[in-house]
Structure 1
Amino acid sequence: MTTYYPYLRGRMYDLLALKTLAEQHQLGPNIVPIIEPVRDSKELLTTVRALIKAEQPFSIVANPQVSVYGLNDTKLYPLPDLTELPFYHPSAILAPDFRADWLTKNAQQSSLLIAPNYPLLQAYQRTTMFKTVNGILVPNEARLRAIAGTRAIALTDPMPFLPHIAEYAQLTDEFFAPANWAYQLDGSQGFGDYSIVGHHYFDKGMPSRAIAIHLIYVTADGSLRLHHFVSDSNDSMRGQKNKFFEALQKLIDWAPTHLTGLNQTPALQDLLAYQDSPKFPGLGAVKKLALMHHFQLMHRLLSLN
């Protein structure tokens, strides 16, 4: 059975999505969330506790490369000891600050190396760490895959980054992953992506002229596609509530034809239920449900495979 490794920066809505799914046991053993922490927050701590309580496989990157989380050794919300948990995956990014001891594991654990840098991976390929690490997450680049061999795990970023949200209206519907998404690398037992969040990280958000709901769905041939539902009244930043309901109405109109079968997840139903509420739930709540929908869908697909 293949394993899915969603890679998430620890934004609040990312963490709340994982926490809720863990509490509801809707991830399963074949989904291993990798969290690169960005803030020393109560949400990170409570999410980790929920994952532990559910005995859900997961990983926390030992040396995060974005934001300031890794710069402060004294934490307001220190994480519990993870070293003896059999379902925990020690992980680290192969970066200039890398230390091999971050991938120390016990006999029941599997370790993960995130290796986006070819020169560093090449330099480490004869080390003990390289020989003992269980999985190596690499971009879809031939020379990196060649070094990682059968331990290579494709870490892709299919979510397009556009500088203005309104521009997603020009894409509407696009490819996310091929029908053989579970086996994108020959011999690999896993794959990963950045879901609908993308690998770009911004420390602070800001109001936008447009609001978009991004949803991943599976087609009849098994491929994954991404649809963007974008508001219309995008001339100014005013009217966030109205913008949301414009985007939601497009989802409501589109869903009965396209989001059938396995695509009808609990998170999708919660998202559609906003049509019965006069209140704007906030972008964080919308992003949380869209992310939960993706993971609930992947859980169903992996259960089939």
Structure 2
Amino acid sequence: MYHPYFRGKQFELLTVRETAKLMAEQNFVPVIEPVKESLGGLEKALKEICDAKGQAIVIVNPYHGDHQENGTGISQLLQQGLFGGAISAGILLRGNINLADAVACHQAHLGHNPTFVHAGFTEQKGLAGYLHNTLPQTRHVFIEEHANTLYRKHFEGSTRILVRDGFKRRKNAEFAKIPVEEFSELHLTFKSDLGMDGFGDFLMVGDVYSEGGGPAYAVAIHLTFIDPDADEVMYIYHFVSITNDTPTDPAGKFGQALQKLILKLNSGTSKLLETSAIKEFRDLHAKGHFPGLGYVKKLSMKHHIETLADYLG
């Protein structure tokens, strides 16, 4: 049902590992686009998913990161047969892929239950024609920004998942002006309004890929919640440090952002689910500990998955 889209950086893969059991229980299927040359972290995450009897989709031809020129290493990892039928080969269809490339990639990965991930492809009619009688047995993930209703119509009868980027990207300091905003209502509308079989998002990281920024002028903690008083739409809080004029003292800035989060939690009006991630934020506050910005992002991603698991479960 829910398909969170991860770029395979260190803390994204750690999030997958730490939530693998929960995702398997809820039939959540993560989509992972490997972006780092070393595939050790990916292999550990996939093993964790298999041990939990879950499923995942792994992009075999990434657009971003170290494998964008050649995804052979990813294909070889799947071909080792370590994961049984739990891991689907994701074929990423960007604007730079033509129909012949898409067909060749599909043929090469027939043994790995391939999934098409549509993200800018322009030969949708030809692909639907190629699949023809097998279309009902195929799965298609549509990145909403690149696949409108007419585009998706070509694949009616297949399993269709719509992924929406609910995170509005800004500089961290700018989030201070918008402490809370709407994130998505796709969890409510994907089936009834849009005729999809599942939905997904880019968590609270967003679809814009970067290798990793420079020093942070401001530190922000992004946390999602479902608002029962607003038709159960999902919103997102941005807890931002007060100091944002120099790129120094990330620990102090994290402490400022965390203090805002704790005050909101203790007010009793936050509507944030008390997830394991929130408990860890409380522990960090009690200890006065800064675990690093990557770890903070991991906690926010875990909270997002735990929130949707609680709602959909």
Partner in structure 1 of residue 92 of structure 2 = 93
1:102: how far off?
4.9
Structure 1 unaligned regions, length at least 5: none
- Name the residue aligned to 1:33: 30
CA contact (8 A) 2:61 2:71 kept: no
Task: Show CA shifts across 1:17-42 (max 9, x none).
Answer: 111112xx221242100000001332
Give the corresponding residue for 2:292.
282
Tell me the residue number matched to 1:241.
251
* 1-structure distance, mates of 2:240, 2:197: 36
Are the equivalent residues in 1 in contact too, given 2:62–2:71 (CA < 8 A)? no
Evaluate the alpha carbon distance shift between residue 205 and residue 102 of structure 1 in structure 2; reply closer, same or farther with a 3 A threshold. Answer: farther
The 10-residue stretch of structure 1 (70-79 or 8-17) with the greater mean CA deviation from structure 2: 70-79
Distance 1:184 1:250 in 2: 37
Q: Is the 8 A contact 1:40 1:69 kept in 2?
A: yes
- 1:191 to 2:199 alignment: yes
Contact 1:48/1:79 (<8 A) preserved: no
Secondary structure of the corresponding residue to residue 155 of structure 2: helix
Q: In the alignment, what sits opposite 1:79?
A: 77
| In structure 2, distance between residues paired with 1:209 and 1:123 | 48
Mapping of residues 95-134 of structure 1, within 5 Å: 95=94, 96=97, 97-98=101-102, 99-105=105-111, 111-128=114-131, 131=135, 132-134=137-139
**Structure 2 counterpart of 1:100, which letter?**
H
Query: 1:250 maps to which residue?
Result: 260
Task: With the length of structure 2 as denominator, give the TM-score of the two structures.
Answer: 0.85
* 1:228 and 2:238 are equivalent in the alignment: yes
Task: Identify the residue that residue 177 of structure 1 maps to in structure 2.
Answer: 184
1:74 Cα deviation (Å)? Answer: 6.8
Single out whichever of 140-149 and 271-280 deviates more from structure 2. Answer: 140-149
Q: Percent identity?
A: 26
Report the Cα offset of residue 204 of structure 1: 2.9
Say which is worse superposed, 60-69 or 25-34, in terms of deviation. Answer: 25-34
Q: Deviations over 1:161-211 (max 9, x none)?
A: 11x210111221111112715536533210111111111111232111000
2:144 is the alignment partner of 1:139:
yes
Counterpart amino acid of 1:119? T
Q: 1:156 to 1:170 in 2, by over 3 A?
A: same
Offset of residue 118 of structure 1: 5.0
- Structure with more helix by fraction: 2
- Cα separation, 2, equivalents of 1:124 and 1:74: 23
Is the Cα contact below 8 Å between 1:210 and 1:243 reproduced in 2? yes
DSSP-derived class of the 2:256 partner: helix
The alignment partner of 1:94 has SS state of: strand
Q: What is the CA–CA distance in structure 2 between the aligned matches of 1:74 and 1:148, rounded to whole Å?
A: 28
**Per-residue deviation at 1:293?**
0.6
Q: Which of structure 1's runs of 4+ aligned residues deviate more than 6 A?
A: none
- The amino acid of 2:168's aligned partner reads P
Residue identity opposite 1:31 in structure 2: F
1:154 aligns with 2:162: yes
Alpha carbons 1:153, 1:185 under 8 Å: kept:
no
For structure 2, list consecutive stretches of 5 or more residues without a partner in the other structure.
none
Partner of 1:9: 7
Q: 1:30 to 1:258 in 2, by over 3 A?
A: farther
TM-score normalised by the chain length of structure 1:
0.87
Partner secondary structure for residue 44 of structure 2: helix
> Compared with structure 1, are the counterparts of its residues 252 and 84 closer, same or farther at alpha carbon in structure 2 (3 Å cutoff)?
closer
Contact 1:138-1:145 within 8 A present in 2 as well: no
